[in-house]
Amino acid sequence: YRPLGYAVRQGLAATGVPVGTVPLLQVLSAIFGALGLGFVYLMLQCLVEKREIAIWISLMLGVSWSYWTMSTDIYYLSLSAMFVAAATTLFVRSQSNLSLAACGVLTGLAILSFQANVFLLPGLGTAILIASPFAAARIAIRRVALFWAMAGVVIGSAFVSVGILAYERRTALELIRWGSSYGGKALPMWGSWSPDRFVTVAGTAFKSILGMELWMFEFFQARLNNGKLPGWVPVLGAAGLAASLVATFRWGPLKRSGETRTAAQLLLLYAFYIPFFIWWDATEPRWFNLSNIFLAGLAAIIASRWSSWSYLKFVLPGAFLILGGLNLATSAWPRRFAVSTPVRIADCVASHMHEKDLFLATEWNWAGYLEYVHNRNVLSFIAEASQTGDKSIASQRIAQAARERQHQGADVYMIDVRSLPPDYMTWLTGQTGFTADGLLVYKGGTAFECVYSPFIRLDPL
């Protein structure tokens, strides 16, 4: 995502067209999202051979929370989803080894854009085996090997090139260690098989379709815990959605040959991602931007079973309008057209800072806007703890950076940690080791207030 954005920006600059980084990346995300929907439409058209169903299901995917958000924000998942959709489209339409090899190349690009897409390899490989009769098992295995080999060539070439040229890894062992390691130290919230995550991920899957971002509204902030609905609400929604899909698939009056097998393949592709979502971060709905492509395929097959129902021509547009309207009202509108609380805080804090000043962030909710929208210098306690894996080292690095800024004549700001909610401090301490008392070593007088939160200017360190 970054290399593409950099290349486009440099290309435009070479032609005399200056463009800001943020607007350019937003436009690229929208283009990737639109292309991804185009590939999804082609995939659905091939699966069900009904244009109206392919159009409406593609549009419903487009207004789902995760797809809409990732296609209008600065994030690599729209690019990744485009590659996933393109690879899957080519897979369902492939009639030759050449097209399967091209599918492997696209899968390799999908993995390079987001490493979790490695689950496409076993997913599509299993789909090849399921689609082949037992007598042709040897041919199917060769096709799987071709598909995996082409993806491996793309991934291996990219990693070896970057490892040698950018990171100066010279031996095979150094390349393997670098290529197989995470760039930082995972926070406790990442990489866990806690039993409650198996329930949480169901609600997260539902929120990837219907966002319910009520925390952006002051009305709900005042009436709900942190502006969020109880955790059982999205879980109940996921259960209802799953039951509806099973019932409509089973009782659909029109059944075509091979349809059940295709539905099983799509369900497997969706399911292959779930263990990673559970293990890495069961609360993040953005990841489902990828697996929901396969859910759209399953929804199209179900809709095709009801294509003889006269009311289907009203149900599909109605579902699109309802889903799109809800996500517009609760997410897209406040994010794009109304000034949400996080944006208001960032705007206010930025207005009190100069270009060389530094802000020490204790949260992820709004501080990113300072850096990407307002071009302010930000250092995050959470990010430093994640990078170093050690609170003491992170604290030393932050203190050193703050001292250097102050010696350069700049100011250093942070929120008054005494104003942070107790439950948030409990979370922050659990993830990073930083306690409220530990953060109080960063002393200073109140410099300004933004949206009822006091901010301090640090005394010389």
One domain for residues 297 and 352: no
Q: For residue 119, is it within any domain?
A: no
pLDDT of residue 183: 60
Q: Same structural domain for residues 215 and 283?
A: yes
Between CA 329 and CA 352 the distance in angstroms is 31
| DSSP helix/strand/coil, 84 | helix
Instruction: Report pLDDT for 195.
Output: 92
Neighbours of 396 (CB within 10 A): 13
Of 234, 216, 294, 286, the residue nearest 66 (C-alpha): 286
Last residue of a domain, one of 336, 368, 398: 336
The reply to whether 239 and 315 lie within a common domain is yes
Give the per-residue pLDDT at 196: 92
Which residue's entry shows tokens 């393109």?
Answer: 86
End of a domain among 336, 363, 391? 336
Q: Which of residues 321, 336, 351 is at a domain's end?
A: 336
Residues 209-267: tens digit of each pLDDT: 999 888 777 777 777 777 788 889 999 999 999 999 999 999 998 888 888 999 999 99
Q: Does residue 156 fall inside a structural domain?
A: no
Predicted confidence (pLDDT) per residue in 256-274, tens digit: 888 899 999 999 999 999 9
Q: What's the pLDDT score for residue 58?
A: 98
To 10 degrees, the CA torsion angle through 263, 269, 274, 279? 160
- The verdict on 254 and 308 lying in the same domain is yes
Task: Give the pLDDT of residue 82.
Answer: 97
What total of structural domains would you count in the chain? 2
Q: Do residues 381 and 398 lie in contact, with contact meaning Cβ atoms separated by under 8 Å?
A: yes
Q: Which domain holds residue 245?
A: 2-93+182-336
Same domain for 317 and 218: yes
pLDDT single digits (tens) 354-391: 999 999 999 887 888 888 788 899 999 999 998 888 88
- Say how far apart CA 284 and CA 204 lie, in whole Å: 6
CB of 106 closer than 8 Å to CB of 60: no
> Are residues 323 and 233 part of one domain?
yes
Considering the domain boundaries, does residue 204 fall inside one? Answer: yes
Same-domain pairing of 59 and 22: yes
Sort strands 412-415 and 377-380 into parallel, antiparallel or unpaired. unpaired
Using 50 as the pLDDT threshold, list the residues of the chain that sit under it.
none
* In a shared domain, residues 350 and 314: no
> First CA to last CA across the chain, in angstroms?
38
Which residue is it, tokens 């390349």?
Answer: 175
Element (H, E) at 273: helix 259-281
pLDDT at 305: 95
Q: Beta-carbon neighbour count of residue 203 at 10 Å?
A: 23
Residue 371 Cα distances to 168, 358, 383, 415, 454, angstroms: 29, 10, 14, 16, 20
pLDDT of 135: 59
User: Residue 128, Cα to own-chain centre: how many angstroms?
Assistant: 27
